[in-house]
Structure 1
């Protein structure tokens, strides 16, 4: 009897795997691609989280196009090896590594200060670094929830600190890596962004909330920068086989999405295409405040992220939580 049940379970699992594999083949086949042949010679691009996954592949593409690529990464040893690999594969001699941990406001400020001291221009800022999140609520040294700090607050602060340089370098672009996972967010409690309320933290919900904040932040910044020469857009890279799921905790992120990514996900090179499209394409040079998927403007997953009033409240709360100073405001 048990042998029969085990056989049935095995058959069902194999059938599911086969279905996912077929879906993945079609999914990858329909993946959008950045088709522009535009050169980036003379341009400087920062990519956060560029030592792995879609960030690494975006950095490789930018280097191949002749850009000065600044890989903003937490693990310098790992990032240096990736930088050497990118230079070897592209022939570029303009890939540099700088230390940045977006979960630490001190690290963000230190990184930005170095960029402002060393770089004369910044043409594209790609806010890509992110984590799936821990299984339990973890606070950073800044008293911010780790997932929100890494995925939203650190990038919010970084964009503000570098905004003056971006405006001086215009036309320039900010590219924010969000996710369709934002669609599961039904409410956003501005008073509970760090899940202080007892029992409110759940790994997947924290990740989804951070992605909703990415889009709200994008739209608010885009509105504030209207006619400034700086365009800001967000994107979903799709289901991509990267380290983010392997390092995450929780059933959904660590196991279900990880398995799905292995069976049906895009490659990191495919997942990077919409980043590249928004950073490089002539077609997106004047588009502002939109959400992209597969290199096309897409519908967002929920109306909540289209609420401009909520976006303003999130901006104001984020300013307070990161301690944004008057001299750090460039809008």
Structure 2
């Protein structure tokens, strides 16, 4: 099967062409009813609400034996876990703290994975933020949306690779599925040619709430293109999933009132339900095979990356981002982890 990297980029305008295709002209692919996850152990981040919670519920519905709900607030995680424990009494459901604004929290979480889990089959990295005001994370001195959606997500992905490789059953590679958004195709990314690149996101004069969300997702795709070239699918299958335009999440909670009203109208007319969107997560994480390594899965199918990533300029930015990001993660020996795989 052809990889996302080998497909021709889709140059049709995202609005309205791709949006209409995604939301109105796509046939959903329900998870096969005989999918059986008995004995398996999976992590879902950001799983106390929205897509993460629904994904967790659907995995448990396919007889998942042990779910780790990775959440910022343990109290909120336990409140979300309580009805799941009643609905799925045979499953073990654990709630572990994970703060995506803290590198220390990421390292502590992965250390617990290494220590406490004899088996790990799948990690679904769903946690993220959207359309937030300009904020600098004091602990890292990085802009908040870039920190959570890009830097912390990529570091967590790298740190989980050894556990996914060695704790999955022999002959069955671990699975790493990361949430993305095809709004990345609309990213203006005004600082794309800045060197160094990462510090330039701290310039409030170029900050745009809507564009920063799209750009943060584009950064993830640029980095994962390189990461999936470096990591064998025989060790860990890594893919990205785009669930579509979804209603019933908190993604737009910081938008101004009039914008929320307009989005509410759009969602009523065109958005997928959380239940339908979560089937895309489950499909990417447990249904698709090695053919999805390094791919973006949108509309339950392998789709191309955004056009920028195929261009000469995109390749140059990709290399710059890769170099700076690995330097950012040097304290965690990220480059050595990647080379070990």
Q: Scaled by the length of structure 2, what TM-score is found?
A: 0.81
Counterpart of 2:153 (choices 136, 152, 155) is 155
Gaps of 5+ in 2: 1-19
SS at match of 2:96: strand
1:129 is aligned, of 127, 131, 137, to 127
Structure 1, 34-43 or 266-275: larger mean CA deviation: 34-43
Residue 314 of structure 1 aligns to a residue whose secondary structure is helix
Q: Which residue of 2 aligns with 1:205?
A: 211
Tell me the matched-pair count.
Answer: 307
Report deviation, 1:326.
2.9
1:56 and 2:53 aligned: yes
Question: Corresponding residue for 2:263?
Answer: 257
Computing the radius of gyration from Cα coordinates, the structure with the larger value is 1
| Displacement of 1:258 | 4.5
Residues 204 and 189 (structure 1), Cα distance of their counterparts in 2 relative to 1, 3 Å cut: farther
Instruction: Give a deviation string over 1:51-94, Cα, whole Å, max 9, x none.
Output: 11111111111122222111100121111121122222234431
Deviation at residue 139 of structure 1 after TM alignment = 3.0
Unaligned runs of at least 5 residues, structure 1: 1-22
Q: State which of 42, 47, 62 in structure 1 corresponds to 2:44.
A: 47
Q: Which residue of 2 aligns with 1:237?
A: 243
Distance (Å, rounded) in 2 between the aligned partners of 1:327 and 1:135: 30
Compared CA separation, residues 28 and 227, structure 1 to 2 (3 A): closer
Q: Does the aligned pair in 2 maintain the 1:47–1:69 contact within 8 Å?
A: yes
Shift in alpha-carbon separation, 1:305–1:44, aligned structure 2, 3 A: farther
Specify the alignment match of 2:336 in structure 1: 329
Deviations 1:149-206 (A, max 9, x none): 1111111111121211111125111101000110012543463435123511111111
Kept in 2, the 8 Å contact 1:46–1:124? The answer is yes
Query: Structure 1 stretch 251-260 or stretch 144-153: which is displaced more?
Result: 251-260
Matched with 2:103 is 105
Taking structure 1 as the reference length, what is the TM-score of the superposition? 0.83
- Distance change >3 Å, CA 244–CA 320, structure 1 → 2: farther
Report the Cα distance in structure 1 between the residues aligned to 2:42 and 2:259, rounded to whole angstroms.
30
Deviation at 1:229, TM superposition (A): 2.6
For the pair 1:291 / 2:296, whether they are aligned, the reply is yes
* C-alpha distance after superposition, 1:304-329 (max 9, x if no partner): 27755543432322222344433773
Q: Does 1:69 align with 2:71?
A: no
